[in-house]
Structure 1
Amino acid sequence: MASCWSLLPLFFFFFFFFSLCFHEREAVAVQGGQFGKGSIEFAGVELREHSTFTEIVTAAPLRSGDSGATFFFPSSLPSGFFALGSHAQAHTSNSSPPRALIARDTCASLASPTDFTLLFSTNSSAFFWQPIPPPGYAAAGHLVTSSPQKPPLSSIRCLRSDLLESCDSEAPIWSAKSDSSFTVHLSDSFGTIVAGKKPPLICINKSLLTVAAMPNLTQITALIKTYSPWINFHPKEPYLPSSVSWFFNNGALLYTNSSPNSPARIDPPAGTNDGAYWLDLPTDPASQNTVKAGNLPSADAYIHIKPTLGGTATDIVFWLFYPFNGPARAKVEFFDIALGRIGEHVGDWEHVTQRFSNFDGEMKQMYFSEHSSGKWVDPKELEYTPDGGRRPAAYATLHGHAFYPKAGLVLLGEMENDGIGIMDETAEGGAVMDAAANSVVVSAEYLGVEEPAWLQYMREWGPKVSYDVDKELEKVMRFLPGEMKRAVGDLVSRLPKEVLGEEGPTGPKEKASWNGDES
């Protein structure tokens, strides 16, 4: 193969340079051609995930309750590969194993920095360095050393600027005690650190990497079959999921604020969430109860597939639709207390997300949505089918449908382990949904999947709840002793609207995670 720097006439030089450096964009006739193969080549760079590190220095926590951080540098790199910056790991209970990208130059896409600038040092133990890239290049991360001596220029490589883009910064993993404005952030895209005062994070240009690295539909089908969750519902759950079409076909109504007393059968319009429309249950009580109960045999896991971590990983998101979210329940010491209608609402969307590395095709983490937030769980902490399979369990809470990786009880709003909180209760022995057998891919933009019309409905899937919280509490608390009344009242007063169910819920495309990374 001809070199990029061959002494051909200028015309042929540019022709061969383009064909060598950018042939990956044309050669990937089927998306996912490099998915799971161990490395990804695009635009003159070969990327690999790396997990072998040398510990450089540990920075202690700054204040009580803060986490310290340990800084690493990739070691034992394969021949021809270079680090892109230092790595860090916060001292928290849910810290994942260190992981960073390393790169090999295949066509003038990497360059050594021309110098380093010292940004900050901590009591002469940790020194933070900013690489100075040559023109046309940018640094993907900063360096940390235990010495005031400048790092060798050969220690890392910078990438061509057109291969990178700015990206949002997560919360810092560490900040300096002497200057709290100096913070250290970890790039989800590269696994490198970026330090400074409000430092901008750099990610891989997702539009370039997505085509090269993402799985095709055949590979997605295999991932779903191998890894999709078994969804466990509480044995006492009266409000199960259904398909969207079952909800529409069994009397659900569309309301508009221009004619609130003249609802229509479902034909939900697309558009922004302007409050002009909302969905609701049928008007007659018998049909209401039927729709509230859902219809598990019709239920589908609606799957959204998207690139994440700058295109180095794939998120497979499993969305479930419930026609109705049940009332909240409080626990006060040894007593379980039903809270009337508090927490009820129509149209509940919940999800779990499985994240796969585009390098080796393995599931790296699973996200469980819990009302307005959620958490990532590593595969080793998941619960699997007893036959030794790779499909994890997900448990939906009674009435509220938040997801957890194991059965048990979580108290929301609990203050200092006082035993008082809203019950998020999961249990074994109830109905189970096979998310592999009952699933449909509704969105994968990079594959051109045609989305169903209902997915474009951006308005509310239920009305804003109009009940009086104080009156509902009064019904509940009239039978409680004084101390318990005060405890329940204080608990409900500090709950967010998402738990109280006061606002009409929006559909999947209105969630912040739809177009961004799950957090």
Structure 2
Amino acid sequence: MPAENIQYGLVVVGSIRYENGVIENLKTRIPKPPSLPIMGKALPIETTFNLPLPLPSWQPGSGFGSRSIDLGGLEVCRVSTFKRVWAAYEGGPGNLGATFFEPMAIPQGFFMLGGYCQPNNRPLNGWVLVAKDGAALAKPTDYTLVWSSESLKMKQDSHGHFWLPVPPDGYIAVGLVVTASPEKPSVDSIRCVRSDFTEPSQAETSIWVSPNNATESLKVSSSRPQSRGTRALGVAVGTYIAEVNSSVNPLRCLKNNSSSYTSYMPSRSQIDALIRTYSPLFYFHPKEKYLPSSVRWFFSNGALLYKKGNESNPVPIEPTGSNLPQDGSNDGLYWLDLPVTKVGKGKVKKGDLQSSEGYLHVKPMYGGTFTDIAIWLFYPFNGPSRAKLWVVNVPLGRIGEHVGDWEHVTLRVNNFDGGLYKVFFSQHSGGTWVDASELEYQACGGGESNRFVAYSSLNGHATYSKPGLVLQGSRKIGIRNDTAKSCLTVDVAASFSLVAIDYAAAGGSVAPPPWLNYMRKWGPKITYNIAEKVEKVGNVLPRKLKSAFHGLVKSLPSELFGEEGPTGPKVKTNWSGDEASC
């Protein structure tokens, strides 16, 4: 059978096996041809992403949306218009390569701090900060060539040359310059930043890695401040990190030195406007039995407070949670549980969609240059899990069940013009950031909107940006997370409660509900024997599936099994810190 006549797929002829482009049992293995850029079609990056609707005019009330931010002696603004410098058409997501840019239309008196880079598999949607000239900026004295693509055998539109600015004493480079020429760029093309306006940065998401045939390997990643949280002062520049042969990153991010670094955060009225503009519509699976409810509904329908040592005398909870223990720590002394009666338990487990609302926590991020809006949903009960072993679906009994489930999405909005940057979707013990260009947006009133869609997984309530199946594990073996559209929805714009603002917002602060300061468990510790349940499930599986199943169970975090009752939003590390991506 001539190799050139074989189609991709699986073919077995005698002792010859051909699968996914590889012939076995021959002296020569014939690999599947590598993926190529889309020939004759525009790459996604050749289209610039815009939100479905123009941004509204934010009501005055703070520095939010004022286009530039003073970092305490260094004024910066955000530029999202770019000139392409160099592109690679292999490697990166989808093997479509990546493109490197430098900012254009820089306001007069401002200077570039570094270039921008993005994978080619999605529409162009980027930004970099540029800074106003002054004592906090200085020209580089020279450049060091850190990497070149000249020796690479790959599809590229020219040769890329990566230059690290050499700063004068007391200054730091916060970005690189890429050229299509081997000649050094002009020292006038970029500025270095005085060291007291910088902080350590770190790689965030991989963008592009050079092919294996490179003499020196290059890994390009997006950059973010190393220290992140509501009180952290590091400011993302929007540039990238280029690590050669796993070298240490020499670049830094900016630092907000202003004594009032939250002065560019949104006011109360602007927060309301942001919610009206961007708030999500949550879809629940059509087979979902365990829906969300409001916290008040949960308490008013028989939820009980237990105390260690006095388990036989649980206490009904006031609708606002005013009789819950306040502050303290998660010391195991208290926990919540469902009503005692069978009827009461059954009712509360199902939740109450009509009462559901989003609980909003607004906080500064990246030194007050971004606003994070965390939107929390409460579920009285988390349902059982199911595993998928190749084509076999395996119910896991009560594994995954627990009382009191908190899930959230977080909107990250830039404070320069109020544009939506990206959204975090929480998924069990971690989650995923999704760029604004990759979100699904709602059609409201028959027209377009900037409000995105979120999908809650069946029983487990992990959130996703697209419908379908996601396996927690490998591509063929894992815990099922099924999402789909249905008539079961929560529209956050129609029902939300602002429970916390982590800065002095113009227009007034908010009084947190008492339940927010309850720092203990929202559900009891599960006492059934998980190992026994796993063994029962494994015993009914064929040997091959049994081995795969036990391997899957061992690899999953204990959080999934719900052995401990979950804690409330304020106990989570992301309450005062950054989101933890998977």
TM-score bucket (shorter structure): 0.7 to 0.9
Question: Which residue in 2 is equivalent to 1:152?
Answer: 186
Q: Which moved more, 1:437-446 or 1:42-51?
A: 42-51
Amino acid at match of 1:222: A
1:80-99 alignment runs, 5 A limit: 80-90=109-119, 93=121, 97-99=125-127
Per-residue deviation, 1:201 = 3.2
Q: Which moved more, 1:437-446 or 1:464-473?
A: 464-473
1:162-181 alignment runs, 5 A limit: 162-166=196-200, 169-170=203-204, 173=207
Render the CA deviation track for 1:87-110: whole Å, top value 9, x for unaligned. Answer: 33346x4686332112224xx354
**SS at structure 1 position matched to 2:297:** helix
Instruction: Give me the CA root mean square deviation.
Output: 3.5
Contact 2:78 2:129 in 1 (8 A): yes
**SS at structure 2 position matched to 1:436:** helix
Which of 305, 308, 318 does residue 254 from structure 1 map onto?
A: 305
The whole-number CA distance in structure 1 between the counterparts of 2:93 and 2:279 is 40
Per-residue deviation, 1:491 = 3.3
Question: Which residue in 1 is equivalent to 2:142?
Answer: 116
Contact 1:236 1:430 in 2 (8 A): no
Contact 1:206 1:311 in 2 (8 A): no
Amino acid at match of 2:167: I
Render the CA deviation track for 1:383-428: whole Å, top value 9, x for unaligned. Answer: 412622422222211111111223322232244xx3x432211222
Alignment CA distance shift 1:114-1:482 (3 Å): closer
Alignment CA distance shift 1:450-1:493 (3 Å): same
The whole-number CA distance in structure 1 between the counterparts of 2:366 and 2:97 is 24
Alignment of 1:400 with 2:460, yes or no, is: yes
**SS at structure 2 position matched to 1:463:** coil
Alignment CA distance shift 1:144-1:276 (3 Å): farther
Per-residue deviation, 1:49 = 1.9
Per-residue deviation, 1:306 = 1.8
Per-residue deviation, 1:358 = 1.8
**SS at structure 1 position matched to 2:527:** coil
Per-residue deviation, 1:168 = 5.4
**SS at structure 2 position matched to 1:213:** coil
Contact 2:278 2:452 in 1 (8 A): yes
Question: Which residue in 1 is equivalent to 2:447?
Answer: 388
Question: Which residue in 2 is equivalent to 1:504?
Answer: 565
**SS at structure 1 position matched to 2:443:** coil
Question: Which residue in 1 is equivalent to 2:161?
Answer: 126
Alignment CA distance shift 1:167-1:511 (3 Å): farther
Alignment of 1:412 with 2:469, yes or no, is: no
Alignment CA distance shift 1:229-1:51 (3 Å): same
Contact 1:31 1:215 in 2 (8 A): no
Alignment of 1:187 with 2:237, yes or no, is: no
Segments of 5+ residues of structure 1 without an aligned counterpart are 1-29
1:342-353 alignment runs, 5 A limit: 342-353=399-410
1:330-479 alignment runs, 5 A limit: 330-332=387-389, 335-375=392-432, 376-379=434-437, 381-385=439-443, 387-390=446-449, 391-415=451-475, 418=476, 420-446=477-503, 447=505, 448-476=509-537
Amino acid at match of 2:296: S
Q: Which moved more, 1:55-64 or 1:69-78?
A: 55-64
Per-residue deviation, 1:508 = 1.6
The whole-number CA distance in structure 1 between the counterparts of 2:60 and 2:195 is 24
Per-residue deviation, 1:132 = 1.2
Per-residue deviation, 1:195 = 5.0
The whole-number CA distance in structure 1 between the counterparts of 2:511 and 2:277 is 24
Q: Which moved more, 1:64-73 or 1:157-166?
A: 64-73
Render the CA deviation track for 1:188-216: whole Å, top value 9, x for unaligned. Answer: 41112345643363233176674342211
Alignment CA distance shift 1:178-1:443 (3 Å): farther
Question: Which residue in 2 is equivalent to 1:103?
Answer: 131
**SS at structure 1 position matched to 2:447:** coil
State, as a whole percentage, how many aligned pairs show the same letter.
45
Q: Which moved more, 1:425-434 or 1:30-39?
A: 30-39
Per-residue deviation, 1:350 = 0.5
**Equivalences, count:** 482
Q: Scaled by the length of structure 1, what TM-score is found?
A: 0.80
Contact 2:356 2:495 in 1 (8 A): yes
Per-residue deviation, 1:146 = 5.1
The whole-number CA distance in structure 2 between the counterparts of 1:500 and 1:395 is 21
Question: Which protein has the bigger helix share?
Answer: 1
The whole-number CA distance in structure 2 between the counterparts of 1:303 and 1:145 is 45
The whole-number CA distance in structure 1 between the counterparts of 2:574 and 2:567 is 13
